Structure 1
Amino acid sequence: MSVGGDVFYYREVPDEPVCGGVETLVHVDDDIAVVDKPHGLAVMPAGRYVRDTLLARMVRRLGVEDIVPLHRIDRDTAGLVMFSLRAATRDAYAALFRDRAIRKRYEAIAPALPGVAFPLVRESRIERGVPFHTMREVDGVANSHSRIDVVERSEGLWRYALEPVTGRKHQLRVHMAGLGAAIANDPLYGGVVTAEGASLALLAKRLAFDDPVGGRRRDFESSLSLSLSL
């Protein structure tokens, strides 16, 4: 190894699960890559998931070692993830998320809420729950903010459009459960199970922003979709 080279260390994880889903490159340029992540693939190494992550796959696929995810979505959530490919412009893109200057739109399948008026804004205080890997809404000053609307209705299940203004862990899952419509196949928050082994019905569908480097309007949409007939 040459002097000044990078050293990557991965701890050993016995019987690490491997995700069978395949990621899709939506966009790549000198500064960023936007990727469609499948359900079940972690973005970054964590817990039982170390070698088979979206980050590791993108390092191999693009041949860029200085690659950093600009945000994260849950392992169980599918859809768009944006990566920085250059240190020189990284902070400019990271500021989009830090300053809430990027529009993130998710879709979810969840039980119908015919007695609720949409669109609505859900604001609440979210803190760590029990068990430790869950979150919960508690009394206190709100630290989470989501916009929620309905885009398609069917008998029993509806398709919801979810826009998180803030980015608390499990925010959309907690807010939907708090409304009485936990996202389908969400084991942590009581979502209705549509089929054995079915994926969480949550998709990061769209990222839209004004590019801080080129100035042009960017609008990326996932090619994945959720079906009401889960």
Structure 2
Amino acid sequence: MSPERDGIPPSKVWLNPGPWKTLYEFLCERFPRIPPDVLRRRLESGDIVDAHGVAQSPDSPYVPERWLWYYREVDDEPPVPFELPVLHRDSRLVVVDKPHFMASVPGGRYLRHTALVRLRREFDLPNLTPVHRLDRDTAGVLMFCVDPAFRGRYQALFQSREVDKEYEALAVPPPGLSFPLVHCSRLEEVPGEFIMRETAGTPNSETRIELLREPDSRGVAHLRLLPRTGRKHQLRAHMSALGMPILNDEYYPVMRLRADPADYRDPLQLLARSVVFRDPVDGRLRCFESRRSLLLHSQA
């Protein structure tokens, strides 16, 4: 595996058996959205290497059953002009207060302006990896592991539900809905889409919702969300299913994506307020809390 470059971890592609004679032919078919001249340029510049770090060329013969490593490029990545405050840092963990609009890790059109790459570069921590993730639209407490030797133990806490997670949200509850309430349902990803939908069947998700502040003159209430499970988009999907989608949600109940990805007005009113857990290494009780507030029309 190649080392990270300027805070960016390498990506990899597996070479399946096939009819291609050269590596260039395979890459053109594997990545049809990338112009062939760009792929040729990247091969000629040595940006694509094998597992031993040997640079490949456009004329390199196609050899299947192996990995190739490369560094993603995003030419039109929009900057994310918000700070990433560090709540805690030690030899095992880095905990940050992620702003809205910043992706946790590289993906899609976001690469350098992500929490992971920014922290790797700022603190020179090439092995830093996320313990869990937050949606790009969600702000709040986000944890990273410094030492790969401990990563699995911290990630296992989330997988085994040994972490108490608290979120806050702003929404307009429908008439007649009383709090506190517990909502359970079966969430499944919509095929070919990015969203989740409730379906018939055994529930696989559970969220407790409490009222923190009564609805204001606009009907907007301040709510505490306590997920007992960790399904993708669970809080957003549950709130929408209950008839009170989180304010400024671009995905629920219907998708309304921004035309301009650099439009940072009206962030999703969802905040990962805190995480609490017993440290699997030294047994200490850990509690990390966001210093952010949910203010409609705020930008971070």
CA distance in 1, matches of 2:151, 2:290: 23
Deviation at 1:175?
0.2
Mapped pair 1:134 → 2:131: no
C-alpha distance after superposition, 1:86-108 (max 9, x if no partner): 12222221121011000010000
| Residue type of the alignment partner of 1:95 | A
Cα 1:7–1:208 change in 2 (3 A) is closer
Cα 1:199–1:29 change in 2 (3 A) is same
Mapped pair 1:166 → 2:229: yes
- Aligned match of 1:225: 293
Higher relative contact order (CA 8 A, sep 6+): 1
Aligned with 1:70 (options 110, 128, 131): 131
Deviation at 1:48?
0.9
CA distance in 1, matches of 2:163, 2:142: 13
Runs of 5+ consecutive residues of structure 2 not aligned to the other structure? 11-70, 257-263
| Residue type of the alignment partner of 1:102 | V
The secondary structure found in structure 2 opposite 1:173 is helix
CA distance in 1, matches of 2:135, 2:125: 23
CA distance in 2, matches of 1:158, 1:67: 37
The secondary structure found in structure 2 opposite 1:141 is coil
CA distance in 2, matches of 1:108, 1:160: 5
C-alpha distance after superposition, 1:156-209 (max 9, x if no partner): 100110111111111100000011000000121148x9xx93000000010111
The secondary structure found in structure 2 opposite 1:58 is helix
C-alpha distance after superposition, 1:79-135 (max 9, x if no partner): 110111112222221121011000010000000345122111111111112660111
CA distance in 1, matches of 2:297, 2:77: 32
- Aligned match of 1:104: 165
Deviation at 1:5?
6.6
Is the contact made by 1:157 and 1:228 (CA closer than 8 Å) also made in structure 2?
A: no
- Aligned match of 1:80: 141
| Residue type of the alignment partner of 2:272 | A
- What is the aligned length? 225
Is the contact made by 2:267 and 2:297 (CA closer than 8 Å) also made in structure 1?
A: no
C-alpha distance after superposition, 1:202-224 (max 9, x if no partner): 00010111111121111111000
- Aligned match of 1:204: 272
| Residue type of the alignment partner of 2:106 | P
Mapped pair 1:56 → 2:53: no
Deviation at 1:228?
6.0
CA distance in 2, matches of 1:221, 1:157: 24
- Aligned match of 2:238: 175
More moved, 134-143 vs 102-111: 134-143
CA distance in 2, matches of 1:214, 1:14: 44
- Aligned match of 2:281: 213
More moved, 122-131 vs 208-217: 122-131
| Residue type of the alignment partner of 1:81 | L
| Residue type of the alignment partner of 2:234 | Q
The secondary structure found in structure 2 opposite 1:30 is coil
Is the contact made by 1:158 and 1:228 (CA closer than 8 Å) also made in structure 2?
A: no
Is the contact made by 2:95 and 2:144 (CA closer than 8 Å) also made in structure 1?
A: yes
Which of the two has higher C-alpha Rg? 2
The secondary structure found in structure 2 opposite 1:168 is coil
Q: Which has the higher strand share?
A: 1
Aligned with 1:92 (options 153, 156, 161): 153
Is the contact made by 1:145 and 1:166 (CA closer than 8 Å) also made in structure 2?
A: yes
Query: What is the percent sequence identity of the aligned residues?
Result: 45
CA distance in 2, matches of 1:91, 1:130: 30
Is the contact made by 1:101 and 1:209 (CA closer than 8 Å) also made in structure 2?
A: yes
CA distance in 2, matches of 1:198, 1:184: 9
Cα RMSD (Å): 2.1
Moved over 6 A (4+): none
Mapped pair 1:6 → 2:3: yes
Is the contact made by 2:269 and 2:296 (CA closer than 8 Å) also made in structure 1?
A: no
